[in-house]
Amino acid sequence: MDHVLAPWTPTSVPIHGSDQSFPIRRIFCVGRNYAAHAREMGHDPDREAPFFFMKPADAVRTDGQMSYPVATADLHHEIELVVGLAAGGTNIAVEDANDLIWGYAVGLDMTRRDLQAEAKKQGRPWCMAKGFDNSAPMAAMHPKSATGVIDSADIWLKVNGEIRQQSTVAALIWSIPETIAYLSELVELKAGDLIFTGTPEGVAAVARGDKLEGHVDGLTDLNVTLV
């Protein structure tokens, strides 16, 4: 059957060392998944099950540029390890979850913190605080077949050459396999889904002209200039 509009091609992430790309189906993001970040946001990390929010697939941008978004005066960086799924399912066992991973990339969960604070206060959804245009800059994805399972890599973010966030993926409250398993009890995961796995402590505001440099050991660095 014909569509009434010309169908668009999915937003995709380039693959390191290849001319292929990873097509994005959906973007799931984990909230407060490093204890020190949960505490800096005013929460007790010991008593929380993982929770999730989403960004639209076309929030991803891979060209290294990000325009300062509309409707905020408090844009925050959140450096994150991003997982891309090659396959999905429901009720996935923790011990099977790593088998579903196609690859990994460095990403930023950019956040309009003022809108998020207002949403929290009013008991409203976070969509406009988290899922705005270009809110998910990413670097190239690396296949798990090349990196192996990533579970203890250093992760950091520099802004204008100064360290702002620094931790290790080993500090995740919910490991990546646990996150995949838990999420698969809430929705049926599918090939092409991305999971932003959470950010360590040190989130803060950025301004026009700032240069962001994100790193996870073994992956391509993410370089973003805020214009």
Number of amino acids touching Mn ion (CB under 5 A): 3
- The answer for residues whose C-beta is within 8 angstroms of residue 22's C-beta and 6 or more apart is 12, 13, 14, 15, 84, 102, 103, 141, 192
Contact pattern for Mn ion over residues 76 through 115, marking x by CB under 5 A: --x------------------------------x------
Contact pattern for Mn ion over residues 36 through 75, marking x by CB under 5 A: ----------------------------------------
213 binds Mn ion (CB under 5 A): no
Q: What is the closest distance, in whole angstroms, from the C-beta atom of residue 82 to Mn ion in the complex?
A: 10
Tokens representing residue 159 in the block: 């802004």
List the one residue from 116, 197, 199, 220 that touches Mn ion (CB under 5 A).
199
Q: Which stretch binds Mn ion (CB under 5 A): 99-107, 155-163, 184-192, 194-202?
A: 194-202
Q: Indicate the residue among 143 and 174 with the shorter CB distance to Mn ion.
A: 174
Q: Indicate the residue among 15 and 105 with the shorter CB distance to Mn ion.
A: 105
User: Which parts of 17-57 fold into alpha helices (H)?
Assistant: 35-40
Tokens representing residue 97 in the block: 């979850």
Q: Which helix (H) or strand (E) holds 118?
A: helix 113-122
State CA 25 to chain mean position distance.
Answer: 14
Q: What is the closest distance, in whole angstroms, from the C-beta atom of residue 9 to Mn ion in the complex?
A: 27
DSSP, collapsed to helix, strand or coil, labels residue 122 as: helix
Q: Indicate the residue among 167 and 199 with the shorter CB distance to Mn ion.
A: 199
Q: Indicate the residue among 68 and 126 with the shorter CB distance to Mn ion.
A: 126
Tokens representing residue 3 in the block: 């569509």
Q: Which stretch binds Mn ion (CB under 5 A): 86-94, 140-148, 177-185, 198-206?
A: 198-206
DSSP labels, 126-193: SHHHHS-TT-EEB--BEEHHHH---SS-EEEEEETTEEEEEEEGGGBSS-HHHHHHHHTTTS-B-TT-
Q: Which residues bind Mn ion (CB under 5 A)?
A: 78, 109, 199
